[in-house]
């Protein structure tokens, strides 16, 4: 066996299934020879999915021999949070529940990072972290989960399922002095439980060799007081965050389920590309009023070359905000259910959130007339385009900006696209070369709008053309695309 080339043994081992007739066969093959052991362990330890109660075994397996660390490329860790009772399934998580979950999560993550910090820096490990309790959804067992849902449907059980922790955010309670150079990709599994955004930044800072950053965040949309606190902490954390030298892309996903919200998202950009998914208003690009209106904050955008935004089916304009429901007076001061000591206050907070959910018809569409901010109105889109234009004229290093959102009721896609000279676009063929007196569109800045029959006023079009004039000495070419969907 030892005389066979290692490459041949590895190829043969790759064709073998891990199990045969329900029994694992690879471990036995690993005892045939050193060549087979190496080949089998390369396959066995390439990708692992473990839970936090298996961390001790994980540490010992990779401690002897340490050469196994070179095999691991993907590690998915699920942190198992404290179990709760059937009675608690009908209640929102309390402050004590959230503190216990945060403590358990922080403890296990700290232990893992401490272990990985001792691994060689030349590795390329993809680390994915998730979290759940054994009573969350299907984790309680598919049979029990289906039975519990049936019992709820017939009125014999009280259970709010994942609503129990919808507004709970797990916070990192421990500092992470460990530096983990072997991790080059890190992602926290998004949903149904989430880390708070500042904790995402704290965790990300432990990995100096990351090649991209992923920060998902579930917005507690009906409760601005909590969101503003989280956004303030997030922005403060990002302000002191030093992006890894190899990191070129930052992905920020803001999941927003509702409509009554104002954007509080404004951070310095630590990468050359930012992919953002979530509600967007003009202040993301430039302040509309106040002392910062004429302040050039280009320094926070100085490294960015590409911005891609998916507004998440919402156009936001502060001046035409919809009034809150008559029975929701004082709502912006409310905290989510589970944040109060009394059941009455928690029930009132839950009822207030429920009152603002948009009604759906029998086909699952939002009831006609309730499609707040789903359509590109001038009051929302024109200030957004003005802010984007201002950002581009003040930041000529920004080579590409793309904004896209799906319109309701299968009405297609609205998008805005900007390319600097020399940057190719998928829509260059639609440029009117004769009308723009330009035989080579790539030599000019270009703006493309796909907006069905909607058109901005001539002043806004002139403003978009002016981006090219300010940055490159020639007007940008503005093209209104035909329907592509």
Which among 389, 380, 421, 418 is positioned nearest to 402, based on CA atoms? 418
Please tell me the predicted confidence (pLDDT) of residue 408.
65
Q: Distance (Å, rounded) from C-alpha 91 to C-alpha 338? A: 8
Could you give the count of Cα atoms lying within 13 Å of 1 in the half-sphere of its Cβ?
A: 14
Residue recorded with tokens 């190719």: 424
How many other CB atoms sit within 10 Å of the CB of residue 317?
18
Q: Distance (Å, rounded) from C-alpha 428 to C-alpha 416? A: 14
Distances (CA, A) of 217 to 193, 196, 221: 10, 7, 11
- On whether the CB atoms of residues 255 and 278 are closer than 8 A, the answer is yes
What's the full length of the chain, in residues?
485
Please tell me the predicted confidence (pLDDT) of residue 302.
62
- On whether the CB atoms of residues 214 and 254 are closer than 8 A, the answer is no
- Give me the phi and psi of 3, to 5 degrees please: -85, -10
Q: Distance (Å, rounded) from C-alpha 403 to C-alpha 381? A: 11
- On whether the CB atoms of residues 252 and 276 are closer than 8 A, the answer is yes
Contact partners, residue 261, CB within 8 Å, separation at least 6: 219, 221, 222, 224, 227, 279
Kindly list the domain boundaries of the chain, sorted by start residue.
1-44
Q: What is the pTM of this model?
A: 0.76
Please tell me the predicted confidence (pLDDT) of residue 476.
95
Contact partners, residue 186, CB within 8 Å, separation at least 6: 126, 127, 128, 129, 203, 204, 207, 210, 214
Q: Distance (Å, rounded) from C-alpha 443 to C-alpha 447? A: 13
- Give me the phi and psi of 401, to 5 degrees please: -135, 130
Q: Distance (Å, rounded) from C-alpha 247 to C-alpha 212? A: 5
Q: Distance (Å, rounded) from C-alpha 253 to C-alpha 126? A: 19
Radius of gyration of the chain (CA): 26
Q: Distance (Å, rounded) from C-alpha 206 to C-alpha 175? A: 10
Please tell me the predicted confidence (pLDDT) of residue 116.
95
- On whether the CB atoms of residues 273 and 250 are closer than 8 A, the answer is yes
N- to C-terminal Cα distance for the chain? 60
What HEC string does the chain produce?
CCCCCHHHHHHHHHHCCCEECCEECHHHHCCCCHHHHHHHHHHHCCEEEEEHHHHHHHHHHHHCCHHHHHCCCEEEEEEEECCCCCHHHHCCCCHHHHHHHHHHHHHHHHHHHHHHCCCCCCCCEEEEEEEEECCCHHHHCHHHHHHHHHHHHCCCCCCCHHHHHCCCEECCCCCCCCCCCCEEEEEECCCCCEECHHHHHHHHCCCCCCCEEEEEEECCCCCHHHHHHHHHHHHHHHHCCCCCCCCCEEEEEEECCCCCCCCCCCCCCCCCEEEEECCECHHHCCCCCCCCCCCCCHHHHCCCCEEEEECCCCECCHHHCCCCCHHHCCHHHCCCCCCCCCHHHHHHHHHHHHHCCCCECCCCCECCCCCCCCCCCHHHHHHHHHHHHHHHHHCCCCCEEEEEEECCCCCCEEEEEEECCCCCCCCHHHCCCCCCCCCCHHHCCEEEEECCCCCCCHHHHHHHHHHHHHHHCCCCEEEECCCCC
Please tell me the predicted confidence (pLDDT) of residue 431.
93
Tokens of 175: 């500092």
- Give me the phi and psi of 290, to 5 degrees please: 90, 180
Q: Distance (Å, rounded) from C-alpha 423 to C-alpha 412? A: 26
Which among 25, 23, 45, 42 is positioned nearest to 34, based on CA atoms? 42
- Averages of pLDDT over each 10 residues, the chain, 485 residues: 63 64 62 61 80 95 86 94 96 95 96 94 91 95 96 95 93 84 91 89 92 83 79 82 82 56 48 72 66 51 68 44 41 78 88 73 61 61 89 90 78 88 93 86 94 88 95 94 86
Q: Is the dihedral of CA 231, 378, 313, 249 positive or negative?
A: negative
Residue recorded with tokens 């330009």: 438
């Amino acid at each position: 066996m030892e005389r066979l080339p290692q490459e041949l043994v590895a190829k043969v081992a790759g064709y073998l299934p891990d199990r045969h007739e329900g029994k694992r066969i690879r471990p036995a093959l690993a005892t045939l020879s050193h060549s087979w052991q190496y080949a089998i362990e390369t396959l066995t330890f390439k990708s692992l999915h473990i839970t936090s109660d298996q961390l001790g075994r994980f540490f010992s397996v990779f401690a002897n021999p340490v050469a196994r660390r070179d095999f691991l490329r993907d590690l998915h860790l699920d942190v198992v949070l404290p179990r709760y009772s059937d009675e608690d399934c009908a209640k929102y998580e309390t402050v004590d529940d959230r503190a216990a979950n945060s403590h358990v999560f922080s403890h296990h993550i700290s232990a893992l990072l401490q272990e990985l910090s001792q691994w060689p820096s030349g590795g390329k490990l993809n680390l994915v972290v998730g979290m759940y309790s054994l009573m969350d959804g299907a984790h309680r067992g598919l049979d029990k989960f289906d039975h519990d849902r049936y019992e709820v449907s017939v009125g014999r059980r009280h259970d709010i399922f994942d609503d129990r922790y919808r507004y709970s955010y797990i916070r990192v309670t421990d500092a992470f002095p460990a530096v983990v150079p072997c991790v080059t990709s890190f992602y926290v599994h998004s949903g149904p439980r989430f880390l708070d955004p500042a904790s995402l930044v704290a965790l990300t800072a432990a990995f100096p060799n990351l090649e991209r950053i992923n920060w998902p965040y579930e917005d507690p949309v009906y409760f601005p007081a909590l969101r503003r606190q989280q956004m303030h902490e997030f922005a403060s954390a990002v302000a002191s965050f030093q992006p890894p030298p190899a990191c070129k892309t930052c992905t920020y996903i803001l999941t927003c389920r509702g409509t009554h919200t104002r954007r509080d998202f404004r951070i310095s950009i630590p990468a050359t590309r930012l992919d953002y998914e979530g509600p967007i208003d003009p202040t993301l690009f430039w302040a509309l009023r106040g002392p910062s209106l004429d302040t050039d904050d280009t320094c926070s955008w100085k490294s960015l070359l590409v911005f891609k935004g998916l507004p998440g089916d919402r156009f936001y304009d502060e001046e035409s905000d919809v009034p809150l429901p008559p029975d929701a007076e004082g709502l912006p001061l409310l905290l989510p259910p589970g944040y109060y000591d009394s059941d009455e206050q928690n029930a009132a907070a839950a009822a207030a959130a429920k009152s603002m959910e948009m009604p759906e018809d029998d086909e699952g569409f939002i009831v006609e007339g309730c499609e707040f901010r789903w359509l590109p109105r001038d009051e929302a889109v024109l200030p957004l385009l003005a802010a984007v234009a201002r950002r581009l004229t003040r930041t000529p290093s920004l080579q590409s900006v793309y904004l896209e959102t799906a319109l309701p009721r299968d009405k297609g896609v609205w998008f805005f696209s900007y390319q600097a000279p020399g940057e190719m676009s998928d829509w260059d063929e639609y440029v009117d070369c004769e009308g723009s007196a330009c035989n080579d569109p790539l030599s000019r800045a270009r703006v493309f709008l796909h907006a069905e029959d909607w058109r901005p006023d001539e002043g806004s079009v002139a403003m978009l053309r002016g981006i090219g004039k300010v940055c490159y000495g020639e007007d940008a070419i503005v093209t209104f695309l035909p329907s592509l969907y």
